[in-house]
Each structure stands twice: as C-alpha cells, then as structure tokens.
Amino acid sequence: CAPKNQEQKDEATLKQDAKMEWWRDARFGMFVHWGLYAIPAGEWKGKEIPGISEWIMARAEIPVKDYEKLTEEFNPVKYNAEEWVKLAKFAGMKYIVITSKHHDGFAMFHSKASPYNIVDATPFDRDPLKELADACEKYGIRLGFYYSQAQDWHEPGGTYYNIEQGEPHWDPDLKREPLMNYINGKAVPQVKEILENYGGLDILWWDTPRGMTEEAAKALQAEVDKYPEMLTNNRLYRPWPGDFSTPEQHVPPTGLDYDWEVCMTMNTSWGYKKNDDNWKSSESLIRMLVDIASKGGNLLLNVGPTAEGLIPEPSVERLKEIGQWMQKNGESVYGTSASPFFKLPWGRCTTKEAESGNLLYLHVFDWPRDGVLRVPGLDARIKDVYLLTNKKQKFSYKFEGEDLLIHAPSVIFDPINTVVVVKTGKKMEITSNMP
Ligand code: H79
C-alpha cells in the first residue's frame, strides 16, 4: 500500500513512528544467547543432545537439582563486555539484545527476586549485564534484554514446552504450582529489576508464550507500560500487540505490514554448542541482511558465547567480514526503506529520500554477464548513477522504453554485493512492481 503522507497520519501513528525511528533506521542488531547451557554446550553425560543447546535441560530431561549444579562451575572470567560491544559496533550493529533469563530460569543478572542468578549462585562475582549496559552506553549501542516470561523450567509455577499437551514436567520432584505464583513471585519482580536497574532498556524481548494466560500477560504488560519509550516484541501472549513481530530462523518472502525483525543464528544453535559447525558464510549473511532491508525489516543476528565468556571465533570472523562490507556500504542499509520493485533478477534494492529526489541503492549480487544492469519499469528523471564505495566512479546509462539500462563494467565488481546508486528527481514511479 502507498505510504501515507504526514497529514494523513493520525496522532497515534505519528507517535509510534517517533518511537520506532531509531530501531527502523538501525536495521541490524546482535542477539546474544548466554547462560548455564554454555557449559554442557550440547553434551550431557558424554552424549550429544540433538537440537538447540539452550534447550538441553528439557531435551535431556535433566532434573532441576542436577542442572543447578552447573552454577558451581560457571565462572566466565574471560568475559569482557567492551570487547563484545566493540565487535558488534565494528560489524555495523546498532543494538544488542541479550538473554537476561532463558527457559532454564537462570538469571544472568543480579536479582533480589530469586537467588538463582549469576551473582548469588556462581563463583563469578560480577553482574555481566550491568557491565554490558555500561559498555553499550559508552559506545553508543542500544540495549535490549530477552526475558523468557512463560517457560521457566526451574520454578514450580513456570511453564514448560509440553504443558499445553497436559504432560507433566520431566522432573517429578518439581512440585507444580499455579502459574500466577511464578508470575507474581518471580517474573514480574525480575522484569521490574531489569527495567529499573540497567539504565533504561531500549527493548524488552519476550519469547514464546507457551502456557501463558491473559492474566499473566496483563501483569507483565503493566510493567512495560511504565516505560512508554521502550520497545517490545509481540510474543508476550498470542495474540498480543507489541511494537514489532519476530520471524524466527526464516526471512519472510515479502515484507510484512507491521514492523518486523528476523532473528537468526549463524550456525544452528542459539546457545553455544561445541560441535555445531554448520556455519552460514559471511556472504550469505551480508546478502540476508540486505534481503531483509530490501523488504523493510531488521536482522537480529545471534552469537552464543562460551562458558568462559568468549564469542566463538567463527562468529567473530563473520562479524568482522560483515563489518568490512558495512563500513563501505552501510549507507545503503541504515535508514533505508523497502524496495519499490517486486523482484530484480540480479539482486535487491533499498531506497532513501534525499533533499532533491530519491536514492535507489541497487545491490548487485549477480553481476550481469553482458555488463548491462537492467532496472525495470522506472519512470523518473535520472540525475546521477555512481558506485557507492567510490562516488567518483560514474556509470553511463540510457533508457530502453521505461527500463533503465546501466552500463556496468565488471572491473568494479564486489563478489559479495556491489552497490550502485541511482539518484533520481522527486517524481519517481515504478511501473514494473507486479507479482
Ligand atoms: O531463544 C531461542 C529459542 O530457544 C527460543 N526462541 C529463540 C529466540 C525458542 N523457544 N521455543 N522455540 C524456540 C521453538 C520451540 C520448538 C520446539 Fe523443540 C519443538 C520445542 C519442542 C519441540 C526444538 C526442538 C526445541 C526442542 C525440540
């Protein structure tokens, strides 16, 4: 649908636009899954446990008392928040979302509401999330906390993955209690703590609402409502309003009519898993980010730090390679809008309004063999066509009907993604955007 102009937008929409502005401009963030599960790292009692590593407690049906023993070993002395934040910043990420408490129920922050937290229950006498908040502040990176509101496998009232099928918790020693005992006794107090004690969060990221009730969602939403500038995703309950939706591990084929952020792993697991070598290439990650931007969404790309507190080397390598590309080409991602074209055979497009017209960023994944980049059905006055990484490098062009043909010599070809910028006049229409 056509974008409404400012006068047509109602007050609520304008307010929401202002609230979302930094996030929409950011386009790229870092997800961090870090918790006790980094110790077993996918292996329990010498056996490899299939699936995502942060689910090991459920997948291996580990009794609460046994899983709790991991706290004795958790001492991530190599953790350096500034290094993580500097890496995210180098990669071109504008925000970080970290697991403050995953389904295992273990808080990665100092909590008075539950002693099952990193400061009180482990030899590591530091609050890593406080350190991360300070580092984010120092380097100008926005910060969000993930909080598993529904599933909490450690608590008698917490939900768990098969609760909706009426199956019992795998640990028969965990005496069941009503959900609201856990919500009022732990979830609400901990959410208050994270909202109050970390300098003001930019995002609160809920996970799957399995086993939630409307009553529980309302109790948590009441805390969120005290922070009108903070963003939340829409996973608190189903259905539930929120500021954005979060497709998980897939990129929607077209844009959504609601703000959205794809969360994605670089290998297959969110939490650190030692034998998970199924890494996506830097090239495919860069192209994924661009593909998402061309559809108007954000990418929240995950890292799973080790039990020592280090981001695994394959992740570091990829983030650096993404950063190298973003430092030269970031202008074509940040603050851009979705492509006006339905489909382009050679790559993707992002757009931006400039003072005197429009900018079309043509992301060329597959450089045309005949050296002619065809932009189909473009009705506009062309002011300039140049290479993003070197604005002095101009391209010659001509129209063939309404197709713009750009003469694209292959000498300036970037094998990952070459960005060609087309500057047009104010009036621009796309006549080819039909499915
Ligand atoms: O935090 C990450 C995941 O742990 C969490 N969301 C992302 C951001 C997540 N929680 N639930 N799910 C993802 C989907 C759960 C899928 C399941 Fe299964 C299928 C649960 C039980 C069957 C996968 C396979 C997990 C256990 C077996």
Find out whether the beta carbon of 104 lies less than 6 Å from any atom of ligand 1: no
Residue with CA nearest ligand 1 atom 4: 54
Question: Are residues 309 and 355 located together in one domain of the fold?
Answer: no
Measured between alpha carbons, how far is 291 from 297 in angstroms, rounded to an integer? 9
365 within some domain: yes
Instruction: Return the pLDDT at 9.
Output: 86
Find out whether the beta carbon of 163 lies less than 6 Å from any atom of ligand 1: no
Give the CATH number, domain containing residue 263: 3.20.20.80
Instruction: Return the pLDDT at 2.
Output: 45
Residue with CA nearest ligand 1 atom 3: 270
4 within some domain: no
Instruction: Return the pLDDT at 5.
Output: 59
Question: Are residues 140 and 13 located together in one domain of the fold?
Answer: yes
Find out whether the beta carbon of 161 lies less than 6 Å from any atom of ligand 1: yes
What three-state secondary structure class fits 310? coil
pLDDT of 403 over the 60 cut: yes
Find out whether the beta carbon of 51 lies less than 6 Å from any atom of ligand 1: yes
Question: Are residues 324 and 275 located together in one domain of the fold?
Answer: yes
Provide the CB-side half-sphere exposure for 189 (13 A, CA). Answer: 13
Find out whether the beta carbon of 395 lies less than 6 Å from any atom of ligand 1: no
Question: Are residues 121 and 26 located together in one domain of the fold?
Answer: yes
In the reported structure, the alpha carbon of residue 33 is separated from the centroid of ligand 1 by a whole-number distance in angstroms of 13
Give the CATH number, domain containing residue 393: 2.60.40.1180
The mean per-residue pLDDT over the stretch 6-10 comes to 74
Find out whether the beta carbon of 268 lies less than 6 Å from any atom of ligand 1: no
For 131-173, strand residue ranges (E) read: 142-147
327 within some domain: yes
Contacts of 204 (CB under 8 A, 6+ apart): 144, 145, 147, 191, 194, 195, 224, 230, 231, 232
Measured between alpha carbons, how far is 302 from 112 in angstroms, rounded to an integer? 29
Instruction: Return the pLDDT at 218.
Output: 98
Question: Are residues 83 and 182 located together in one domain of the fold?
Answer: yes
Question: Are residues 180 and 100 located together in one domain of the fold?
Answer: yes
Q: Which of 417, 426, 246, 297 is nearest to 25 (CA)?
A: 297
In the reported structure, the alpha carbon of residue 396 is separated from the centroid of ligand 1 by a whole-number distance in angstroms of 51
Question: Are residues 369 and 306 located together in one domain of the fold?
Answer: no
For 248, list phi and psi in degrees, rounded to 5: -110, 125
The mean per-residue pLDDT over the stretch 357-365 comes to 97
In the reported structure, the alpha carbon of residue 347 is separated from the centroid of ligand 1 by a whole-number distance in angstroms of 32
279 within some domain: yes
pTM of the model: 0.97
Q: Which domain holds residue 265?
A: 9-332
Span 158-189, pLDDT tens digits = 999 999 999 999 999 999 999 999 999 999 99
What percent of the chain lies above the pLDDT cut of 90? 92
274 within some domain: yes
Measured between alpha carbons, how far is 422 from 361 in angstroms, rounded to an integer? 6
pLDDT of 153 over the 70 cut: yes
Question: Are residues 141 and 278 located together in one domain of the fold?
Answer: yes
pLDDT of 318 over the 80 cut: yes
342 within some domain: no
The mean per-residue pLDDT over the stretch 324-333 comes to 98
Residue with CA nearest ligand 1 atom 11: 208
Find out whether the beta carbon of 147 lies less than 6 Å from any atom of ligand 1: no
Question: Are residues 138 and 284 located together in one domain of the fold?
Answer: yes
Measured between alpha carbons, how far is 377 from 197 in angstroms, rounded to an integer? 53
Q: Considering the chain, what is the average pLDDT of its residues?
A: 96
In the reported structure, the alpha carbon of residue 248 is separated from the centroid of ligand 1 by a whole-number distance in angstroms of 10
Name the domain boundary from 297, 332, 367. 332
Find out whether the beta carbon of 63 lies less than 6 Å from any atom of ligand 1: no
In the reported structure, the alpha carbon of residue 364 is separated from the centroid of ligand 1 by a whole-number distance in angstroms of 35
Kindly indicate the confidence band of residue 1, based on its pLDDT and cuts at 50, 70 and 90: very low
338 within some domain: no
Count of domains observed in the chain: 2
354 to each of 153, 256, 298, 308, how far by Cα in Å?
51, 25, 22, 47
In the reported structure, the alpha carbon of residue 430 is separated from the centroid of ligand 1 by a whole-number distance in angstroms of 41
Structure tokens at 380: 């506009």
Span 102-150, pLDDT tens digits = 999 999 999 999 999 999 999 999 999 999 999 999 999 999 999 999 9
Name the domain boundary from 309, 332, 355. 332
Q: Which residue intervals of 168-281 are DSSP H helices?
A: 179-182, 188-197, 214-224
What three-state secondary structure class fits 238? coil
Q: Which of 187, 175, 191, 109 is nearest to 150 (CA)?
A: 187
Question: Are residues 175 and 257 located together in one domain of the fold?
Answer: yes
Name the domain boundary from 266, 299, 332. 332
Measured between alpha carbons, how far is 56 from 161 in angstroms, rounded to an integer? 12
Question: Are residues 277 and 412 located together in one domain of the fold?
Answer: no
Measured between alpha carbons, how far is 395 from 349 in angstroms, rounded to an integer? 17
Question: Are residues 238 and 367 located together in one domain of the fold?
Answer: no
